[in-house]
């Protein structure tokens, strides 16, 4: 039987604070050990990364790597001590949104204390599995949402980049809004984030123009990063589409100069 605290004694706030801190340290230490045990069976070489248009820590990719590190630093400053979910979406099609999402996730995976999970939510034009040369025999996101018994582990794919995993889009579907607004989608995202406190999620979203899917997805995330191809969208068009998102979530607009 528990012994209730004597009401005449002041609560031990200091003891409670130390207890909470100790618990947090233990949790993070356990997470760090879990991350350290993650093994990438076929780590890509520098040449293979460059062929896939992926940043890497070596000098030949320094300029582009530093650009994505700056975005990472900005997001971490906004996110504080907690992991978070970021949607990266182009304003117009073919503006390089998937390129930015992929490399931003890789920039987080550079940090040996963090893992990144990239989820291809661009159902009309999925590309991450092709760009990363990933085979997904069991399908991907949509297959899981339609058949949860498939299990999440079946759709988590190695990428050849340490601490970076991919959930491909799965079998192609024309309509995505009903999937993105479903209870299963929200439950999946919450589960993927909460399972590991040092896991950061990146949703590769569809183009904002011509579809409400990006705005629907934005309800599930903490931050939104929009991408415009250099010279592809006018300033007025950018401002118009930026206004469609919660300003508290909008982290910024990336001007992509790489075709």
Asked if 205 and 88 touch (Cβ cutoff 8 Å), the reply is: yes
pLDDT of residue 39: 62
Closest to 173 in 3D by CA, of 134, 199, 201, 140:
140
Burial of 88 (0-12, 13-18, 19+ CB in 10 A): buried
Interior/surface letters 94-105, b for 16+ CB within 10 angstroms, e for the rest? ebbbbbbbbbbb
pLDDT digits (tens, 9 = 90+) for 112-127: 999 999 999 998 889 9
Residue 93: per-residue pLDDT: 93
Lowest mean pLDDT among 41-45, 196-200, 219-223: 41-45
Mean pLDDT computed over 9-29: 45
Average pLDDT value for residue range 9-25: 44
In the prediction, which pLDDT does 210 show? Answer: 86
> Running DSSP on this structure, what letter comes out for residue 140?
-
Strand partners, 120: 204
Tell me what pLDDT residue 60 has.
Answer: 67
What does 238-251 look like in DSSP terms, one character per residue?
A: HHHHHTTS-TTTEE
| Rounded-to-integer distance, Cα 196 and Cα 121, Å | 21
Give the mean pLDDT of 66-88: 95
pLDDT number for residue 177: 73
Q: Is the pLDDT of residue 2 over 70?
A: no
pLDDT at residue number 31: 46
Residues 6+ apart with CB under 8 A from 18: none
Residue 230, helix vs strand vs coil: coil
> Span 85-96, mean pLDDT?
96
Could you tell me how far CA 109 lies from the centroid of its own chain? Answer: 11
DSSP states of 18-64: HHHHHHHHHHHHHHHHHHHH---TTPPPHHHHHHTT---SSGGGHHH
Average pLDDT, the chain: 85
Q: Could you give all domains of the chain from N- to C-terminal order, each with its CATH number?
A: 42-256 (3.40.50.300)
pLDDT at 190 over 90: yes
């Amino acid at each position: 039987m528990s012994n209730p605290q004597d009401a005449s004694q002041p609560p031990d706030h200091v003891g409670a604070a130390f207890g909470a801190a100790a618990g947090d340290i233990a949790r993070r230490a356990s997470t760090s050990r879990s991350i350290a045990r993650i093994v990438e069976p076929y780590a890509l070489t520098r040449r293979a990364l460059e062929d896939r248009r992926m940043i890497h820590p070596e000098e030949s990719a320094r300029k582009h790597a530093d650009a994505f590190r700056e975005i990472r630093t900005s997001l971490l400053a906004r996110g504080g001590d907690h992991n978070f979910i970021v949607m990266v979406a182009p304003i117009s099609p073919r503006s390089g949104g998937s390129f930015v999402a992929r490399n931003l996730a890789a920039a987080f995976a550079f940090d040996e204390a963090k893992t990144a999970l990239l989820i291809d939510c661009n159902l009309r034009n999925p590309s991450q599995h092709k760009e990363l040369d990933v085979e997904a025999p069991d399908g991907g996101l949509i297959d899981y949402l339609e058949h949860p018994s498939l299990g999440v582990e079946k759709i988590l794919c190695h990428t050849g980049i340490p601490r970076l995993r991919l959930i491909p889009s799965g079998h192609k579907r024309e309509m995505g809004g009903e999937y993105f607004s479903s209870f299963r989608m929200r439950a999946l995202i919450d589960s993927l984030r909460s399972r590991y406190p040092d896991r950061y999620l990146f949703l590769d979203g569809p183009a904002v123009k011509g579809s409400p899917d990006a705005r629907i997805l934005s309800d599930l995330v903490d931050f939104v990063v929009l991408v415009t191809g250099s010279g592809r969208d006018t300033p007025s068009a950018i401002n118009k589409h930026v206004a469609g998102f919660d300003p508290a979530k909008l982290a910024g607009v990336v001007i992509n100069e790489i075709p």
